[in-house]
Structure 1
Amino acid sequence: MLTLLRFPVAHNRLHFLLLLVCGFFARQAAATHIVGGELDLQYQTGSTYRITLNLYFDALNGNPGALDQDLTVSIFEKATNRRLQNVVLLLSTNTFVAYTNPACTQLSLSTRSLVYSRVVELPANIYNSAGGYYAAVERCCRNNGINNIVLPGNAGQTFYLEFPAVVRNGQPFVNSTPRIFPPLSDYACRGDLFYYNFSGQDADKDSLVYELVTPFNGSSNPAEPKPAVAAPAPYSLVNWNAGLGTQNQIPGNPTLSIGRFTGRLEVQPTQIGLFVFGIKCSEYRKGEKIGEVRRDFQLKVLNCPSNTPPEMVVLLPNNPRAYQPGRDTLRLQPNADRCVRLRFTDPNPNSRLSLSLNPVNFAGPIPTFTSITQGTVRTPGSPDTLVSQLCFPACLDSKGKVFFVDVIVADDGCALPKRDTVRVAFTSVPVPNGAPRITTTASPLPLRASPGDLVTFDIAVTDPENDPITLTLAGRGFQATAVGAQLTQGLSGNQVQGRFSWRVPCPTSTQRLFEFELNATGSPCAERQKTTVVIPVQVEYNNRPPTLTSNLPAALNAEPIVIRRGLGGIFEARLEGLDADLDQLTLTAAGNNFDLAAAGMSFVPTNGPGRATGLFRWEPNCDQVALATPLEVTFQLREATCSPVGQQRTVRFEVVSADTLTFLPPNIFTPNADGTNDYFELRDLPPNFCNAEFADIRIYNRWGKQVYASTNRDFRWDGGAMPAGVYYYLIEYTDKRRYKGNVTIAR
């Protein structure tokens, strides 16, 4: 019997077995029970690995007292057999192995899958031997009913695997052992071919090679069925019965074999009984063997009820004659009948038949059953013969070669279905297929447009054979969606109809010609047929900058224009913008960090395509002086186009005092009462201006002593009793302006 692990946990069954274990004496742990199993080592992360033992337990004949709650795995260095660590593996799951075909269940077969597992550390500073490592678990004993080895009830099993160093050339060398699966619990029938896919997978995608090996016995025995730790290699082998060996493990014609690269097991047993066998799966990376896993299993051979294979007949197209394998070759031509009729039956009563295909030497489109693929014969209400039809695709092209396809009928017999296969040879010339056709309303070409224009045209796609069509849009040297082009489409009968639309954007480069590709693709028989139509769109765009004129004075160099005005007047300026391309123009005026209205300013624009005008007015007042900031106004002309070229003027406005005379105070007076120049007075003082008003005057002698002061703008100083000489004055205004000078008293 062949078995393999399945993982779901049957907690109720496990609990029941554990209770049974507690009721048995320790000596019963040596009872025969082992069906087979293997070790498994899988990389986790860093230096962490999970090591697992899958042990298969005879649920009918095995003694429950031999069901262990833990087993110990020992890890050794291959080059020296030095023991590195012992790891106790705990029982994690206990499940039954199911039959491949439950209808073929035999009460004499029942196997449990026991899984023992633990996370282990394999640090790089320890596991770095170039020769690699091996792990082993020893346990006794095998099933006493095994028929191909000597004293099977006394034979133990050594579960064994090899793995490489975890570091090479100073770099991590990550590897997981191959996992051999899927599970198998079926039996074989004497005289019938037994086959099964026994291949595995490798997480590292290493190459796997399979071969038969003699199972390990090891050092466990009925006296010591469960050694505390495994002994180091070498391990003794089981002893084959006379006439049997590694390459002849099960009596058969042919005997047991396994595909070196496929992992397919085959045997046609000639004796009934229970037979143990061993396989080794080696893994190779870049041509170098880096590890191996050994697995022992058992195959039970039974006398099965006679099962006559089903029969298949293939009838030629438009011909009642049956197809003769090896003599006939179907010649499939365009527009001819490409179907063959199938008649299949089974002489056994209540036989359920199913059809399948196996392409032998070709890939691609395969024939299909256009009628039934399964049914029951020779049961009340059912026919004795079933009829179906197999049709070859119209597009299948054998390119002059002879293709082979196996037409298979299988029954539902045990242990494995019986089959009848008709290998059909054929050549196939596909039905001619035309490429899709594209028509558009885009005319004349190239289409011409300017930025902002909406370009649209309609598209129609047809296919001569009404094959499914895919219509796509692409740009040559650019992505159509990136520039905003859209393609909407839908089906109308056997046509694809679409509409192209593109709002021409402002150019972001010097590219002016945009070539859009319409691709219609049909896929008959998975061979793409493509038709391409190119629609060029010429974008016409050459922007001329607008001009801005005004009655403002011209600026010198890069300095702003300066306009000076006194209080009480009104200043007006007219501006005009013109654009030869008739783009929309906009004139604006903005104060730099101040509000125009707060400074007595206003701007009224009249904007439009190709021309914009504006009237600026300024009425100087004291509020502007109070702003205490440069009154700079920027006039800007903007155009609505792709690459606008702006025009602007910056004008500085200054409020000045109305007094334009030079302040020249007298510097001598003669207080001699002759009625001429008797006083020191300043009739031409700078006038009061907004918040700048006369504050006071103070007069000092040569030693800095104040001799006169007045807050009266119309003061008159007669010199008092001061002697003749030079005196100094200081005049201050409320805006902190100061005027200094000297005056001489002449007596």
Structure 2
Amino acid sequence: MWSMAQRNTFLLLLVFIGLSRWTSASHIVGGNVRLTAGGTPDRYTLSLDLFIDEQNSQAGDIKPSLKLAIYRRRDNLKMGEFELPLLSEQALAVSNQACAQLRPLKLREVVYSKDIELSGDRFDDPDGYYVVHGVCCRSGAIDNIVQADESGMVFYLDFPPIKTVPNSSPVFSVPTGEYACKGQPFTFSFKATDADGDQLKYSIVTPYKGFTNQGVAFDNQPSSTYPTVGWKAGFSAASSVPGTPGLQVNAETGVLNVTASQIGLFAFAVLCEEYRDGKRIGSVRRDFQLAVVDCPNNTPPAPTITLEKAPENAQIGKAADGTISSVSACQGQSVTLKTEASPTWSFQWQRDGINLPGDTLATLVARESGNYTVVKQFRNTCGKPSPAQTSVKVDLSEAETLKLTATGPTTFCDGKSVILKAPEGPYSYAWFKDDRVFPGASEPDYQPHETGEYKVQITSAITGCVVTDSVMVRVKPKPQASIVPPALTTACSGDTIRLNAITRPTYTYQWANTGTVIDQESGASLAVTQAGHYVLTVTDTNQCQATSEEVLLQFKTAPTVTMAPLPALCENATARLALSAEPGGGTFAGVGRAAGAVSGLEFDPAKTGPGQFVITYTLSMPGNTCPGRAQQTVVVHQAPTIAVANATVRRGSEVQLNKNSIDSLQYYWTPSIGLSSPVAAEPFASPDTTTTYRVRATTPQGCEYTTRLTVTVVTALFIPDAFTPNNDGMNDHWVIRGISDYPDCQVEVYNRWGNPVFVSQGYSQPWDGKSAGQDLPPAVYHYVIKPGDSQPHRSGSLLITR
């Protein structure tokens, strides 16, 4: 059997051997991620807390920066990677350096941190996101993990969608560098704080292994289920440190305890989950290692806690043996506790089982409520801590219950107020605004009128305790209710005065006349036609209201005039429209296009064209500045316009007139001789002689338009292609039937060489086949007949035989 010294030497030897082998990240004992919301939207601080074993570290092991990645949980989409610079380092406290030499760890906290931007519009997936940092590898000296030197670490945190669930992750307390003695109860805390007040639940889980190994030092790849470490036989998440009991965590407080039954170095992980309104919204994991050593059996005597100093009004409780068990005092006061001092002992004060950093003297000033204990150990030699830990409950809660109340909302509009009320009783009062005292304000009630933080401080005449409470009062400014002074406040009846308010996009408006709200008017401008006292009430988005000064508007009565109604007329009316009104003596005027169409007492529709036009009548009477006015509307109908074309028709035939007629018009043709119908829109004409027709088109409103066209009647020519001028009395002349209807015609005949042999202006005497008195020889000749009157020329061949 080995002696104690031999075992310790062997343990240290294992550590030094490990230093020569585990070169990846075996110096990293554990750590956790933090994500903290900043003071402005979308701003966060991302941090990584690593716990380093200085005994197992080499130069360069602490990197100047590390990278963390963020992924979307639903599909492991990478949202970003962030490089965090080294922020700070500090050694973790131990209470006994002599005993610390027995353990294989000397811990230091190394913090990496960076302010980053996470946009709510981008991080809005309801399944949330996670942060990850993977590193290899663990120390080969770990006793509860299979192939620890090939097992990496994954520091992991998941958080909800920022857009809908703004959140800061839980923040673990900084651990100590303490060890656990085999066979002795050991308690330490991983209690976390949550800035959002979410409920936290703790559990021990199997550490993540991740995807790193001796060949891959860092790996931030995503995973829906990260690989976990392999436990050695007899170990598990529920039994990561063997003992009676084994390592356990209080699910509500995060305090861990164990009475270890085996020495060694043990890895474990604590999962802290946060719940809001009963729903899980996120979590963070802390990886860590606990060293269990075989401490010497020498144990210092149990410490005794006494009261060195307390306020005069403190209430002190004692146990049956006379020792101090509790102290109650006022909030803001302090209590000084002490234990017996000796250079032989070292001390570690605790509150609620958690070491208080730096409080290692024989005295402690307690400024917060809690259960205070002190752990007593040998200073210069290793031994077990004091077996019995006496505790003193310190209660520095409020001695007086104070809740400042208000008689109404503490946010109100200027001109209104609220009364702040403090509890009444045997108290004296002092009121403050933004930490400035109000001289003379010594009553339990106070009425504020300005924005600020109002605080009341009450002092109990019985206990002397001073208690404060405050309320934030916000006074919203009134909107600006002002009517721009109109150019005129007196007008004539029938006129309009426009009132305009100072406008803001956040204002709504309500107008009133002589105390009666004008319901239909809610704009910033009001057209006024009635006399009265007008005021404007303006409401802003804070529902604050202001009312303007009143504006008095007056309307004088004008003489009563009437204007005779105006009949409708056509724009091409030949007579002007007479205008009349009663009483007479006033002036008529046209509005718009009708301005130039009114002359004296007449209206000329030809100067306006079709449309509706307003004609006004104005009459000024002596002694009255307001003229009488009346108006009528005259309708001017559009006159029809038609375009007809002259036509030519052969006698005995017919031609259709006005082929482009307008369906809405009625037509009347004169004379009706030779027409298929005198009222047809497109009649057929077949006159015997050339005739000029007059057509009148009428609109449904009775407007007319008249025009003319001429139908020219022409006779068809029958031109023989041969005749026999042989004086036998038959067919001796070239008779052209119908040529008599063309007295201005010209007839020409040419021989085969193109020489004229017959030319006649008019054709009253048929040609006898002679030229210059001589008979032309039988032959084929060419003729050209020009009827005249724009009629087409006729030409062809003519045969003369004898």
Please identify the structure whose Cα radius of gyration is greater. 2
Q: What is the TM-score of this pair, normalised by structure 1?
A: 0.42
Q: Higher relative contact order by CA 8 Å / sep ≥ 6: 1 or 2?
A: 1
Q: What is the TM-score of this pair, normalised by structure 2?
A: 0.39
